[in-house]
Amino acid sequence: MRGIRSSSTRRIAALAVSGALVFSLAACANDPLADQYRQGDNKGFIAGDGAVQEIAEDQRGEPVEFAATTENGDPVSSADYAGDVLVVNFWYAACGPCRAEAKDLEAVYQEFAGENVDFLGVNTLDSPAAATAFAENYGITYPSAIAAETPAIKLAFAEKTPIQATPTTLVLDAQGRVAARIIGPIDPSILKTLVQDKLAETS
């Protein structure tokens, strides 16, 4: 699956519902919450330090199986990503480090366009309208599953690996197994290397 894209009509409708929210989500260049994170002021979120945990092929657990709905109302499930490396980012709109890493995640996503790599956000707190506004403001083009609509998606991942910090980013191998975990905001070069390593396993 190469990312679920919303129709213009749905996106416009969601933005209309969240008009006030669009203004509250500051532009990337001037974002107080992202600035707080960069200054080390961890207000309103639990963030890790970007530590990376890799799991050897022979030590990975069972594949993660999930089904949910994206911010655009589209169904999404683990079956959609079968055979691809999948990067899953857990986030919410008021999380400073989530805002700070948003452009980096999108850049890595675009770098792997056309390869067997996909990205999926899991928004842990917000409404679909809030998640849509965030995507518009930060230029995110891959979809996010909305845990408020389908709480079981968080449990599906938590049963396989701890999700104790926001943000957390997982890299799933082509079999859908958790192969790496970044606790806290990503370093794009490290994420890129993790994805490349998992792609190499399939060649």
CATH code for position 77: 3.40.30.10
Burial bucket for residue 71 (CB in 10 Å: 0-12, 13-18, 19+): buried
Using CA atoms, how far apart are residues 26 and 15, in angstroms rounded to an integer? 15
Domain contains 30: yes
Residue 172 in domain: yes
Is pTM beyond 0.85? Reply is no
- Name which of 45, 42, 16 is nearest 136 in CA terms: 16
Helix, strand or coil for residue 39?
A: coil
Q: What region does 105 belong to: left with phi over 0, alpha with psi -120 to 50, or beta?
A: alpha
Number of domains in the chain: 1
The residue range of the domain holding 173 is 8-201
Given this model, what pLDDT does residue 43 score? 42
User: 1 lies in a domain?
Assistant: no
Q: Are strands 85-91 and 168-172 parallel, antiparallel or unpaired?
A: antiparallel
Tokens 């409404």 belong to residue = 127
Angle, vertex CA 154, rays to CA 149 and CA 158, nearest 5 = 170
- Predicted local confidence at residue 152, as pLDDT: 96
195 within domain boundaries: yes
Per-residue model confidence (pLDDT) at position 8: 35
Specify if 171 maps to a domain: yes
Note whether residue 2 is domain-resident. Answer: no
Whether 3 is covered by a domain: the verdict is no
- Predicted local confidence at residue 55, as pLDDT: 96
What's the pLDDT at 169? 97
What per-residue confidence (pLDDT) applies to 202? 87
Quick one: pLDDT at residue 47?
52
Per-residue pLDDT of the chain (203 residues; tens, 9 = 90+): 444 433 333 333 333 333 333 333 433 444 444 454 444 444 444 455 678 999 999 999 999 999 999 999 999 999 999 999 999 999 999 999 999 999 999 999 999 999 999 999 999 999 999 999 999 999 999 999 999 999 999 999 999 999 989 999 999 999 999 999 999 999 999 999 999 999 999 87
Residue 79 lies in a domain: yes
- Residue 48 has a pLDDT of 58
Measured N-to-C along each axis, helices 96-111 and 128-138 cross at an angle, to the nearest 10 degrees, of: 60
pLDDT of residue 174: 98
Q: Are 93 and 131 in contact (CB under 8 A)?
A: yes
